[in-house]
Amino acid sequence: MDQNTVKFTLCAADPAFPSKVAFADFAIQNKEFLDANGGDSVKMSDKTNGTGPYILKEWKRGDSITLVANPNYWGPAPKVKTLVFRWSAESAQRLLELQSGTADAIDNPAPDDFAAISGDKTLQLVPRQALNIAYIGFNVDIKPFDNVKVRQALAQAIDRQRIVDQYYPKGSVVANSFVPDSFNPGPSPKIKWWDYNKDVAKKMLTDAGFDFNTEIQLSYRNVVRSYLPTPATVAQEIQAQLAEIGVKVKLNEVESTTFLDQTAAGKLPFYLLGWGADYPDSSNFYDYHFASASNKQFGTHPADMVKEITAAGQIADIAGRQSHYDKVNQMLKDDVIVIPLAHGGSATAWKSTVKGAHSSPLGQEAFSVVDPGTDKFVFLQNGEPAALWCVDETDGESLRACAQLYDPLLTFEVGGTKVVPALATSFDVNKDLTEWTFHLRQGVKFTNGAVLNANDVVATYLAAWDVASPNHKGRTGTFEYFNTYFGNFLNSPKQ
């Protein structure tokens, strides 16, 4: 509209639009920097250019990422001058480093360590709200999982309660809906998931003509998540449970980034995965998994399910949305595209001397408000980021790091899910929820010295949206979140 005003006009109402633009994937990038790098997020990870509280100093691949305070940050100056991200897939290693003092805070301590951390006066445990889902996924286009009777049988062969009781911490529950119980609308309490029954499961497999001599492969990544605190042992438990009905399962551990790329491309027929909320709305769970053309992990999306999910996301009335989600939940049970396992309780653990310690239910802790009492703060997370320009990323480690370097138009309050101003100081919306006008914060500078203006916002969204844009590159070129949140790409020959 002018240098400090941007208007988004949508094809349909979207009550979740503010939460979507607050997500880390849609942080604003400088237009000239985007143009100079052709939107290549791998190249842009070597020398980042954001408006956030921190600036990249060094990324030692396979070892650590060091950030330093941004002297030109528009908000309150970061309390700690040097922020270091390191990673380890082993929860025991993370806790050992916290106890020894080589880390100031860690993500996802093991469930068995919660009590010990809480009882240690030198540490503090900060629980994280369970806005997530762990699940077993199928690509329904690949044999033998193209047979719904096979999928229904496997759903009844998994003792989900046993998995939660043995491998999850306090605050975790068996998932009877794909979305967290606290969401409204979304869950359908009257629609009960399949009961655990080994005998029925084996008979159904036999009747379906399942070949018990064939070995099926269960793929997973050994990266701890709030929804899956012990991936390897849960995978082994599923293997053991299916062995009880005569199904042979081979476990296939895949490197994290490769695993996510392969599932999104629909290359893994049977896998263990999960999802943590990016914003607190059921559309974040249903749309991405079952109605996004970019996400092929489950194979062909049922057209009737896509229709119901799309309709639910375009109305603000809670009862009206729930009526659509009830139909979706019934389809998910009948078709068993996915087996929901658990909504996992989790936490972060910190030195007791750290002030401002918090856990983000969205996995995006704000380290600029944390005061360790020293000039350096080390956070030990579960894995290494895939990139430090996150427009084309979906993994939590990348998103957490990007949240320190960049700002979206809006953001989420520290430790919560309420949307608050960031690069936009305010916004207006029409009564139909189809026109959203954002008023930009003036005088904000990027790392390269450029001053934020409306052209940067347009260029950032076009890089993800417009296939014909020279900046539509990213890392994989998939841009899953944009396609999921906002619909089809512009100028795409496939859509």
For residue 475, being part of any structural domain is answered with yes
Counted domains in the chain: 2
**Contacts within 8 Å (CB) and 24+ apart, 203-206:** 204/149, 204/150, 204/152, 204/153, 204/156, 205/149, 205/150, 205/153, 205/154, 205/245, 205/246, 205/247
Domain boundary among 302, 326, 343: 343
In angstroms, the CA 483 to CA 471 distance is 16
* 491: exposed, middle or buried (Cβ count in 10 Å: 0-12, 13-18, 19+): exposed
**Whether 392 and 336 share a structural domain:** no
**Whether 355 and 223 share a structural domain:** no
Q: In the 8-state DSSP scheme, what is residue 64?
A: E
* Crossing angle (nearest 10°) for helices 148-157 and 198-207: 160
Residue in 15, 6, 24 with CA at minimum distance from that of residue 481? 24
Q: What is the pLDDT along the chain (495 residues), one digit of tens a residue?
A: 999 999 999 999 999 999 999 999 999 999 999 999 999 999 999 999 999 999 999 999 999 999 999 999 999 999 999 999 999 989 999 999 999 999 999 999 998 999 999 999 999 999 998 999 999 999 999 999 999 999 999 999 999 999 999 999 988 999 999 999 999 999 999 999 999 999 999 999 999 999 999 999 999 999 888 999 999 999 999 999 999 999 999 999 999 999 999 999 999 999 999 999 998 899 999 999 999 988 999 999 999 999 999 999 999 899 999 999 999 999 999 999 999 999 999 999 999 999 999 999 999 999 999 999 999 999 999 999 999 999 999 999 999 999 999 999 999 999 999 999 999 999 999 999 999 999 999 999 999 999 999 999 999 999 999 999 999 999 999 999 998 899 889 998 865
**Whether 275 and 193 share a structural domain:** yes
**Whether 228 and 273 share a structural domain:** yes
pLDDT, position 456: 98
For residue 495, being part of any structural domain is answered with no
Which residues are CB-neighbours of 36 under 8 A, at least 6 positions away?
A: none
For residue 455, being part of any structural domain is answered with yes
Side chain identity, residue 239: Q
**Whether 369 and 334 share a structural domain:** no
pLDDT, position 214: 93
C-alpha distances (whole Å) from 449 to each of 4, 32, 287 are 17, 11, 37
In angstroms, the CA 277 to CA 284 distance is 7
**Whether 353 and 460 share a structural domain:** yes
pLDDT, position 495: 55
Here the CATH number for the domain that contains residue 14 is: 3.40.190.10
- Residues of the domain holding 287: 132-343
Contact, 305 vs 278, CB < 8 A? no
One DSSP character per residue, 292-354 reads -TT--TTSSPPHHHHHHHHHHTT---HHHHHHHHHHHHHHHHHH-SEEEEEE--EEEEEETT-
Contact, 278 vs 396, CB < 8 A? no
**Whether 337 and 397 share a structural domain:** no
**Whether 196 and 336 share a structural domain:** yes
Contact, 278 vs 23, CB < 8 A? yes
Can you give the pTM of this predicted structure? 0.86
Side chain identity, residue 271: Y
**Whether 194 and 328 share a structural domain:** yes
Here the CATH number for the domain that contains residue 278 is: 3.10.105.10
**Whether 275 and 141 share a structural domain:** yes
| Continuous segment of H or E residues that includes residue 270 | strand 270-276
For residue 491, being part of any structural domain is answered with no
pLDDT, position 484: 87
CB atoms within 10 A of CB 207: 10
For residue 90, being part of any structural domain is answered with yes
pLDDT, position 493: 82
Beta bridge partners of 2: 5
Domain boundary among 308, 343, 378: 343
- Radius of gyration of the chain from its Cα atoms, rounded to whole angstroms: 22
**Whether 27 and 164 share a structural domain:** no
Domain boundary among 286, 313, 343: 343
**Whether 68 and 208 share a structural domain:** no
In angstroms, the CA 107 to CA 103 distance is 11
